[in-house]
Amino acid sequence: MSTKRFRAVYETEGVYDQLLLRHYYGGTEDIDLVADWLTEHHHAPTASLEVVEFGCGTGRITETIAPYARNLVLADYSETMVNAVAQKFPEARTICADTSDAVTVLLRQGRSSSFDLVTAFWSLSYPIGEFFEELSPSGVRPRQDQARAQARAREFVLDLVRLVAPGGHLLAMLFDAESPEQQLVTRGWEVVAPFPDGGRAYTRNVLVDALREAEGRGDGTLTHTRLGGVAWAPSRDAAREWFFGVHFKHHPLLLDDPQLAETVEEFLDRYEIAGGGVALPSGVHLIDFHAAAHPYASLPIGLSS
């Protein structure tokens, strides 16, 4: 399976937006989780922040963060996505590159410690995972040197931290690999290739462990929140295509697997709503790294001066 075919859902104009399901957590949509975080930390938008968003896609969440940005950098590996987001935000700088390459470009251009807000929503598992896995004609396969992959992935996360200005934040949103929806996805992909130790949660573990390391050095404080929620499909067909089109990327081994098809149908039976639609049990991890002098920045006013 070629890289181009594997990524077709992201590189064919309009397909991703068409297949994307809305995600809710306690009645709050994922976009609004970001909006609430921005209000809590920055109050009303004043177009005063240096902001970079990696894996920006077509700019669905960018619309929420853009009003806070004095200067906005948007990066995505898909030329189709970059073209779409450039039309929506013509004043933004766009970078068409994988996230790890885009981070390297910005650091080489002297952007270390210069962004008030470094963000990646739903996308950060992919660049981390690419250190551990690679595409081959037969599908996804683990890289041979997993120890080296671990070291490179850790350095990538710390490079993200290096972009954050003093007092700024690295804000990431990742899927919950242990949710029922994602456990089904994991079972499907295990047919193609095994995941590194820890299953598909390994990308989140790499991220959190590296940020804890940065916190331990005094570079900032880590806040990690998990929310249970739902991916809402308006129809059974939409839910089915969410699995096979978005999660399974139309991989031939998975499309032609009758047992997987039966498992997906049983899953949809379980969560289909009588009035129409399917509520797929999901979850999200919100990870916020605040680049402040730790532990002193956590002291109340009076003790910290």
pLDDT at residue 127 is higher than 60: yes
* DSSP character at residue 138: T
pLDDT above 90: percentage of residues in the chain: 78
Kindly report, residue by residue over 134-190, the tens digit of the pLDDT: 766 556 678 889 899 999 999 999 999 999 999 999 999 999 999 999 999 999 988
Beta bridge partners of residue 23, listed in sequence order: 231
pLDDT at residue 199 is higher than 80: no
β-strands 139-142, 93-96 pairing: unpaired
* pLDDT at 304 (0 to 100): 58
* pLDDT at 52 (0 to 100): 98
C-alpha radius of gyration, the chain, whole number = 20
* pLDDT at 133 (0 to 100): 84
| Cα separation, 194 vs 237, whole angstroms | 28
Which of these ranges, 52-66, 70-84, 204-218, 242-256, has the smallest mean pLDDT? 242-256
* pLDDT at 34 (0 to 100): 98
Kindly report, residue by residue over 48-59, the tens digit of the pLDDT: 999 999 999 999
CA triple 253-259-264, angle to 5 deg: 95
Mean pLDDT of 188-204: 82
What does pLDDT average to over the chain? Answer: 91
Q: Name the nearest CA neighbour of 203 among 275, 273, 120, 135.
A: 120
DSSP 88-123: H-TTSEEEES-HHHHHHHHHHTT-TT-EEEEEEES-
* pLDDT at 208 (0 to 100): 98
The whole-model pTM stands at: 0.92
With the CA atoms of 127, 129, 131 and 135 taken in that order, what torsion angle do they form, in degrees rounded to the nearest 10? -100
